Structure 1
Amino acid sequence: MLALITRQLVAPMARLVYRPVVEGRHHVPRRGPVILASNHLSFIDSMVIPLVAPRPVTFLAKAEYFDRRRTRWFFSAFNAVPVRRGNHRVAQASLDAALEVLEGGGAFGVYPEGTRSRDGRLYRGRTGVGWLALTSRVPVVPVGLTGTEEIQPVGAKLPRVRRVTVRFGAPITFGPEYGEAGQARARRRVTDEIMDRIAELSGQERATVYNERGIDTIPG
């Protein structure tokens, strides 16, 4: 209910103030489970995507955001799931939480880079998104964000008014021919294909290495 109220009240205001450019919104299925896989430039990304998507989107978020009064309300309103930083066991618990959202017919947002880019490049995707796509066998909609790093730059306390662009690409489906989630090669293949599609939408320079690990979303 809180998420619905937030969308009804905040979304029109945000569109009026920030005037986002939204392309390919029709690519996001209105019903049924779907993964939205996006590049990650700013803390604000997990608010921008749900505000312009045609349906509610759930993201994982650092549990620390829920410890701060200033950010707790926002992340709760956007159906974010809190996750503590930790080891492989915590990472798998994050994936299981994402799978639960999808099994319930929801839309789940993921940043395959694992944490936001601090230099604007698109980093190599971690294979958690590949595991999730192969395990759930649901469509993956690639998303390319540009300009969000100008709204909430790293270290900035308050958001700025800047125009952003959100591009939703055509859904990708990964059938049995891609392999199983337990196969490392299959997870890598799926993840790389998703990252290629994100790069086409965002226009970012590609980095051949992983970004610094973090849990702004699913760790792979």
Structure 2
Amino acid sequence: MPLRLLRPLLRRLIIGISLLPALAFATSFNVSDAQRHAHWQSMTLTLGDERHFRAVEDHSYTDATLSVNATRDVCDLPWLEMRVTLEEHQGNSDTLNVVPALVRVDDGEIRQAVAEFITQRGDDGFYAHFYINALDTVLTDMREGAQFFLAFEMSTSEQDEREPWHMTFSLDGADAALTRMQTACYSDSVSTGPGRENQ
């Protein structure tokens, strides 16, 4: 996807970066209330007064997870994140790249996204944060699907064409994990309804 087509999507979605809590940048949190749902888990993450809720698939790869995360009082702004375990802890916190990505559930519609690649000092993870205009629709599809497909366009220029990097995650248990994550977030929130609208 050409950069000129990415710019409008980036402009709308990068606004959301300022709304992402510290969890999105690889802070270590206390994990509690974990429950297994087939290939997925749901859990609560806390650090001081911060509370986040996560549904995570940790089955498909030994060194990678896919998660959907929500934050207390802004439950209507979930985000999608992939983590790949690296061989060593990183020396710097850095945004390494922002690349086009494609997401799809089963044989459904291929949706364009932007993936921001991040490392965090002292963490052995490589993180990809996804900005997707139709995230609510994608999450609905995930509840009903069997597999979640990701593809990253890794070429750095038109002359440097590389094969896309593909990953596939199981959705067995995603519906239960996402439902429990969302229920826990809204139950724990000050608001009585969707996120910011009722604060």
Q: Is the TM value for this pair above 0.5?
A: no
Normalised TM-score (structure 1): 0.28
Greater fraction of residues in helix:
1
Greater strand share, structure number? 2
